[in-house]
Amino acid sequence: MTPRPGAILAGCAVGCAAVAVIAICLGSTGWRSPWAWTAMVGELRAPRVLLGGLVGASLAVAGCVMQAVLHNELADPYVLGISGGASAAAVASLALFPGLAPGPAAAAGATGAALMVRGLARGPHDPTRLLLAGVAVGSILASATGAILVLAPASQLLRSSTSWLFGGLGTPPWSALIAPAIAVGLAVAWLTAQATRIDRLTLGADVAAALGVAVAPLRRRLLIGAVVLTALAVAAAGLVGFVGLIAPHAARRLVGDGHRPLIGAAALLGALLVMAADAVARTAFAPRELPVGLVTASLGGPIFLWQLQRGAR
Amino acid sequence: MTAAPRPAPRPALEATGLAVGRRGAAVLSGVELAVRPGERIALVGANGSGKTTLLRALAGLEPPLAGALRWSGGALPHGGDRVRAVGVLFQGEPASRFTVRELVTLGLGLDAPPSPGERRRVDDALALAELAALAGRRCASLSGGEAQRALIARAVVASPRLVLLDEPTNHLDPAGRAMIEALLDRLRGAIAAVIATHDLALAAGCDRVALLHAGRIAALGPPARVLAPALLGDALGVEVRRLDDPDGGPPLFRVIAPRPRAPEAAA
């Protein structure tokens, strides 16, 4: 008998909690029980692990939304030029204001790039034009990022930029969790309430309209929500690749294509993936850390290919 | 004392002085059409004659360039009520990743999970379309005929007053076509239908036929009158021979040869 989506969601939540506990226990100084609340566990590892979970959930939910709105399963949260905008703004911020964290500039760059893409593809909604505008703006901004890295004199810039461009959670204070936690909570609740409208939207604009969906306002709200979630994730952790692509696909295989269970399942799997990847990033070459985005891509890629092979059989 | 005559039921759909088109250019104009409750009307015409454009306007998806449209005497409702007014079968809708049951449930226009009563409606629609055994199958794995029946089940699951069907038997083999015709026969009388089709046998089974030609409805009336070789020849640009069934079954139409079209009316 096929398990019900509710049971699968509960299983994902348990798995996510287990990975969180294990990730909090793991570290360069060995096992530390999260219940033995030391400064190491309580002030360094726990907020970092939980922020990783929130970043993963944000990217996974944003990926789900982008794939539904753009009718393209290869769409990810960064698809509307967001990665290019975030990178260019963050690297410019690191070059001009080395003492400042690049997160807010990156979020602003991501949002600005998404607005620019939407403006360039204005007119009737056309997913292909939107995607092509995203690719074009993203590549222009990526070349601007490269130019800043090559031309800026400080060698420190290359190092700090590289770790940011491949994603890194750093040592966030507890207060850094507030905005992403609120955003993820609101997004999952609202999107789950909109789930059957999103399902109808995936059938195409005309079909959705004939099935009672006010297509243009829903699409606009979904895109704004996805951009805000992605910008917050980028501000917290830089560019963490592949999560927004792989988590929705993995969730679909578990709970099917209906967005009511899919949004929650994708959020939990995205959280699980980033927390696990960050644990590997912290411990694999301790005391040196790998960027978490390198780990998500190197773990996620083979898993994704394995899933594709299974699906083809 | 004589009983007062019962008022005639409101038309399921009424178009008056309707002009429809794309990007401001009219494809059809002067459309006068009233669809009575339970009535079945076929739209017949050559490619580009405006069948799909007219259906899109009747579905409320394309604003009319001129004239007025009333669904059950009023405006088309918004939100979930819309599917109880008009159901639509689109031509060439790609197969979705949903299961057949999920797809048909979406036809109810619900914003929440279906209640037990609504699940029964879905079961009834699946049974009507002879898809109960395939309810758990993904739509992408269905044959063309099965997929088309699933889409018709989605269009009628909310029991709309009117259903608009764009080429329901297109690209189907004879068995698939027969199953669609049987499904439409089961809906006859319960739901009014406007069917855009090139299938003259399907049109001959409708209550009335509207023949689209030269940017207007060139003829509207019973199939026996409108599906006449002379009218069809002008509208479709072919010589047609009509073979009536002596046993009263639907006539057969045989295309003999293309013929030069009558000149289009000045735009």
pLDDT in tens, B193-202: 999 999 988 9
Backbone torsion region of residue A244, taken as left when φ is above 0, otherwise alpha when ψ lies between -120 and 50, otherwise beta: alpha
Given a contact cutoff of 8 angstroms between Cβ atoms, the answer to whether A43 and A175 are in contact is no
Can you give the pLDDT at residue B260?
62
A104 vs A260, which has greater pLDDT?
Answer: A260
Give CA–CA dist A151/B267, Å, rounded.
Answer: 63
**Position A107 pLDDT exceeds 90:** no
Give CA–CA dist A64/A62, Å, rounded.
Answer: 5
Q: At A313, which amino acid appears?
A: R
Check B106 against A212: CB less than 8 A apart. Answer: no
3-state secondary structure of B69: strand
**Position A33 pLDDT exceeds 80:** no
Given a contact cutoff of 8 angstroms between Cβ atoms, the answer to whether A234 and A166 are in contact is no
CA-to-CA dists, residue B233 to B240, B241, B257, angstroms:
6, 10, 10
Nearest to A212 among B61, B79, B112 (CB): B79
Check A203 against B61: CB less than 8 A apart. Answer: no
Best interface-test mutation with B: which of A194, A196, A200, A213 has the largest number of B CBs within 10 A? A196
Best interface-test mutation with B: which of A72, A192, A200, A207 has the largest number of B CBs within 10 A? A207
Check A196 against B111: CB less than 8 A apart. Answer: yes
Return the structure tokens found at A171: 């040592």
Pairing of strands B208-213, B192-196: unpaired
Mean pLDDT, residues A64-86 taken together: 85
Return the structure tokens found at A118: 């939407």
% of chain B surpassing 70 pLDDT? 94
Query: Is the minimum CB–CB distance between A126 and chain B shorter than 8 Å?
Result: no
Can you give the pLDDT at residue B55?
94
- Per residue in A120-149, pLDDT (tens digit) is 887 777 888 888 888 889 889 888 888 888
Residues in B closer than 8 angstroms to A202, CB to CB, are: 96
- Per residue in A257-273, pLDDT (tens digit) is 899 999 999 999 999 99
Can you give the pLDDT at residue A155?
65
Provide long-range contacts, Cβ within 8 A and 24+ apart, for A304-309: A304/A242, A304/A245, A304/A246, A304/A249, A307/A249, A307/A250, A307/A253
**Position A106 pLDDT exceeds 90:** no
Query: Is the minimum CB–CB distance between A73 and chain B shorter than 8 Å?
Result: no
Give CA–CA dist B115/A258, Å, rounded.
Answer: 17
Residues in A closer than 8 angstroms to B82, CB to CB, are: 210-212
Can you give the pLDDT at residue A3?
61
A169 vs A43, which has greater pLDDT?
Answer: A169
Residues 6+ apart with CB under 8 A from A2: none
Query: B267 pLDDT band (50/70/90 cuts)?
Result: very low
3-state secondary structure of B14: strand
Check A258 against B102: CB less than 8 A apart. Answer: yes
CA angle, A283 as apex, A300 and A244 as ends, to 5°?
25
Residues in B closer than 8 angstroms to A207, CB to CB, are: 88, 90, 93
Number of domains into which chain A is organized? 1
Can you give the pLDDT at residue B66?
92
> So what's the ipTM on this one?
0.89
Give CA–CA dist A276/A53, Å, rounded.
Answer: 9
Beta-bridged to residue B45, according to DSSP, are: B212
Can you give the pLDDT at residue B40?
94
Beta-bridged to residue B163, according to DSSP, are: B87, B193
Positive or negative torsion for Cα B175, B181, B186, B187:
positive
Minimum mean pLDDT among A274-288, B98-112, B198-212, B247-261: which range?
B247-261
**Position B135 pLDDT exceeds 80:** yes
CA angle, B148 as apex, B143 and B152 as ends, to 5°?
150
Mean pLDDT, residues B53-66 taken together: 92
Given a contact cutoff of 8 angstroms between Cβ atoms, the answer to whether B206 and B234 are in contact is no
Domain span at A214: 5-312
**Position B210 pLDDT exceeds 50:** yes
Query: Is the minimum CB–CB distance between A204 and chain B shorter than 8 Å?
Result: yes
Using a CB–CB cut-off of 8 Å, the residues of B that contact A are 56, 59-61, 78-83, 86-88, 90, 93-94, 96-99, 102, 106-107, 109-113
Check A212 against B112: CB less than 8 A apart. Answer: no
Can you give the pLDDT at residue B266?
42
Return the structure tokens found at A115: 């607005």
Which residue of chain B has the CA closest to A261? B113
Beta-bridged to residue B166, according to DSSP, are: B196
Give CA–CA dist A293/B128, Å, rounded.
Answer: 52
**Position B119 pLDDT exceeds 90:** yes
Minimum mean pLDDT among A72-76, A187-191, A257-261, B26-30: which range?
A72-76
Return the structure tokens found at A196: 């059957």
Can you give the pLDDT at residue A297?
84
Query: Is the minimum CB–CB distance between A124 and chain B shorter than 8 Å?
Result: no
Mean pLDDT, residues B197-212 taken together: 92
Give the homologous superfamily in CATH for domain B13-258: P-loop containing nucleotide triphosphate hydrolases (3.40.50.300)
| Mean pLDDT for all residues in chain A | 85
Instruction: Compute the residue count for chain A.
Output: 313
CA-to-CA dists, residue A252 to A5, B60, B87, B142, angstroms:
11, 33, 29, 20
Check B112 against A196: CB less than 8 A apart. Answer: yes
Can you give the pLDDT at residue B265?
46
SS3 content of chain A, % helix, strand, coil (to 5): 75, 0, 25
- Per residue in A284-298, pLDDT (tens digit) is 887 788 888 889 888
Provide long-range contacts, Cβ within 8 A and 24+ apart, for B200-205: B200/B44, B200/B227, B200/B232, B200/B240, B200/B253, B201/B250, B201/B251, B201/B252, B201/B253, B202/B42, B202/B168, B202/B169, B203/B42, B203/B44, B203/B227, B204/B250, B204/B251, B204/B253, B205/B40, B205/B181, B205/B250
Nearest to A210 among B59, B94, B110 (CB): B59
Instruction: Give this prediction's pTM.
Output: 0.87
Among the listed residues B199, B137, B147, the one whose alpha carbon sits nearest the alpha carbon of residue B176: B147
**Position B154 pLDDT exceeds 90:** yes
Mean pLDDT, residues B154-173 taken together: 91
Can you give the pLDDT at residue A31?
63
CATH of the domain at A278: 1.10.3470.10
